[in-house]
Amino acid sequence: MIPRSLPGMLVLGALFAAAAPAQSAPDGKQISAQGANGAPACITCHGARGEGNPAAGFPQLAGMGGRYLEEQLNAMANGSRVSPVMAATAKALDPAQRQAVAQYYAALPSTLDTDQLAATAMHPSKPADTGAWLATRGAWDKNVPACNQCHGPGGIGVGENFPALAGQPAAYIAGQLRAWRQGQRPPGPLGLMPAVATRLSESEIDAVSAYYAGLPTAAAQLAAQANAPAGAKQ
């Protein structure tokens, strides 16, 4: 038998449910500034504007693809991307929080001058300049495509899946290339990066990493030379 009071109980239950506050979506900006669930604030290492910290080897996050950033956080949380520094932070955040903070950084303006950087792709390079050659021409004798083919002219990044390389710390870029060689990062789009990384020598990894790390400064110098009065150019 159904108690006569059941309809009233259902009505009261519905009223209480309607009155209960809806759970708010995670705030990516707040997580970046204050941390969450015991995880430290992202700005501690990655800067107040997501600009990174080259001296300490912490990469820029601002303007990176949201999908890329979320995938990296998820990979560090589940261990498929080995990161002693980030693993605990990524695990502390739940999936919705990881998505929120990824989208927050994706929406921040990049600190890069993408026009200046893109122009460097037209600047001639020589085989002896190993880093520039690999970035702009590749090493087809080893089936290594130019880095710019996927990461954009001047390493400015392309879409949601190919992050910017320009201005990232050399130690960070080199560390990630070596991580792919050792199977410590997911292979990424089309499974390209482990194959590329294993075909590069140690000196080539260091050279191309240093090239991209110094590219914003080099791009600014090239732009200044191009804009200088004719008599001032050397």
Q: Is 1 annotated as a binding residue?
A: no
Q: Is 45 annotated as a binding residue?
A: yes
Q: What's the CA gap between 121 and 211, in Å, rounded?
A: 12
Q: What's the CA gap between 132 and 143, in Å, rounded?
A: 17
Instruction: Please report, to the nearest 10 degrees, the dihedral formed by the alpha carbons of residues 146, 152, 156, 157 taken in order.
Output: -100
Q: Is 123 annotated as a binding residue?
A: no
Which residues does 204 contact at the CB level (< 8 Å), separation at least 6?
A: 130, 134, 139
Specify whether the backbone of 98 is left (phi greater than 0), alpha (psi in -120 to 50) or beta. Answer: alpha
Q: Is 46 annotated as a binding residue?
A: yes
What φ, ψ does residue 18 adopt, rounded to 5°? -70, -30
Long-range residue pairs from 74-81, CB within 8 A, at least 24 positions apart, any chain: 74/98, 75/185, 75/186, 80/185, 80/186, 81/179, 81/184, 81/185, 81/186
146: DSSP letter: -
* CA 226 from centroid of its chain's CA atoms: 30
| Binding site, annotated residues | 42, 45-46, 86, 147, 150-151, 193
| Binding site, annotated residues for heme c | 42, 45-46, 86, 147, 150-151, 193
